[in-house]
Amino acid sequence: MNTDALSSYFQHHRDDLLETIRTLVTQETPSHDKPRLDAFAALLAQRLTAAGAVVEVIEQPQRGNHLRARFTHGNTTEKPALVLCHYDTVWPVGALATHPFRIEDGKAYGPGIFDMQSSLALVEHGLRAVRELAIALPRPITVLITSDEEIGSGSSRALIEEAARQAAYVLVMESPLPGGVLKTARKGTGAFTVETIGRAAHAGVDPYKGVNAIEELAHQVLAIHALADREAGTTLSAGVIEGGSATNVVPARATAQIDVRVWTQSEAARLVQAMAARRPVLPGAQVKVTGGLNRPPLERRATAALFARVQQIGRTLGMELAEGATGGGSDGNFTGALGIPTLDGLGVPGDGAHADHEHILVDELAGRAALLVAMWKDLFAA
């Protein structure tokens, strides 16, 4: 099976790919809607089974059910390739009424089409192509499709890490950067809550008997923002602040929610330590810090070698693949932090993740599908 035949196959089946994408996009799968998520997982299970995979539904008590699909078409003794996907989206039920699936000027639009329902279609049709074209694979494929990536992967992280430890490498089907650029670095992400506790008092009658929790929180926020390092790419941002009960009451409590982003594990460790070391400035005040790092950074040391090999594979398909970095996290952060070779951003080129203009480029569908199968076929060793 040469690359020209592979490209021709997907060009011929482009309309089939689009029809699958339409089917998936029009289901609606917001992260917190378990009945809809479970129904969608059942639909995916049927489709992947029909494509030749052995599918396991991993039931969840609160989140949507996860899927693990195993596919063998050749060597069964090697470590599997792990393909990571998620099927939840940020779009609420009813979004299709204002953002319907449509194709205009070479772009296909719809809620979640770029992030990442079109990737699910790539995987399904990639498996079908392997069977129909009788492609012998050098290792089995495990496809893990989770339901809660958009809300932090709380119920799926352990599952992802377990699968990664058994895999030769990990391909993350998240959307690429503009221009179809693959992702070889992602920031680690964290969320902290800082609570300050003071003492209530009448702001007019007994102001000096109180301890102003909002004033203490202001000191804390300024100190926390000072932990940022622009040169290292480390950012901290107080995004939500709450406190007080009435204008004539010295506030006894206030909270701030802090977003943290870091490029390296060393910076993550520094910030975790610094946040744990917060102490009050005002006499009589208390400071409590909760939270931590949600996703470790995906550092290039986990991605560089795999990207170089995929770049060579891309050239056999007439693609000149480039790499880039992003401040957002994905499930690839977990696998890269374990030291498993990981490559991210392998979805369909487009734009507008989570935005009104979310779309994919129709002419890029065949190429990305061919690249996925070519990677399965030609990545012989990790």
Task: Name the residue among 333, 196, 187 with its Cα closest to residue 260.
Answer: 187
Measured distance between the N- and C-terminal CA atoms of the chain, rounded to whole angstroms: 22
Stated length of the chain:
382
């802090």: which residue's tokens?
258
* Tokens encoding 371: 């690249």
**Residue 329 gets which letter from DSSP?**
-
Q: What is the pLDDT of residue 287?
A: 98
- Helix (H/G/I), strand (E/B), else coil: 236: strand
Q: What is the pLDDT of residue 105?
A: 97
Q: Which uninterrupted H or E stretch holds 111?
A: none
Report cis status (omega within 30 of 0) of the bond before 319: no
Domains of the chain are 3-186+297-378 (3.40.630.10), 188-295 (3.30.70.360)
Q: What is the pLDDT of residue 1?
A: 61
Task: Name the residue among 140, 144, 137, 103 with its Cα closest to residue 123.
Answer: 144
The answer to whether residues 147 and 60 touch, using CB atoms and an 8 Å cutoff, is yes
Q: Where are the beta strands (DSSP E) in 63-158?
A: 66-71, 81-86, 102-104, 107-109, 141-146
The answer to whether residues 200 and 210 touch, using CB atoms and an 8 Å cutoff, is yes
Task: Name the residue among 135, 31, 125, 133 with its Cα closest to residue 143.
Answer: 125
Distance CA 132, CA 73 (A): 11
Distance CA 219, CA 242 (A): 15
Distance CA 170, CA 353 (A): 22
The answer to whether residues 294 and 189 touch, using CB atoms and an 8 Å cutoff, is yes
Cα within 13 Å of Cα(295), Cβ side: 30
Please give the average pLDDT of every successive group of 10 residues along the chain, which has 382 residues.
86 97 98 98 98 98 98 91 98 97 98 98 98 95 98 97 98 97 97 98 96 98 98 97 97 98 96 97 98 96 97 96 96 97 98 96 97 93 44
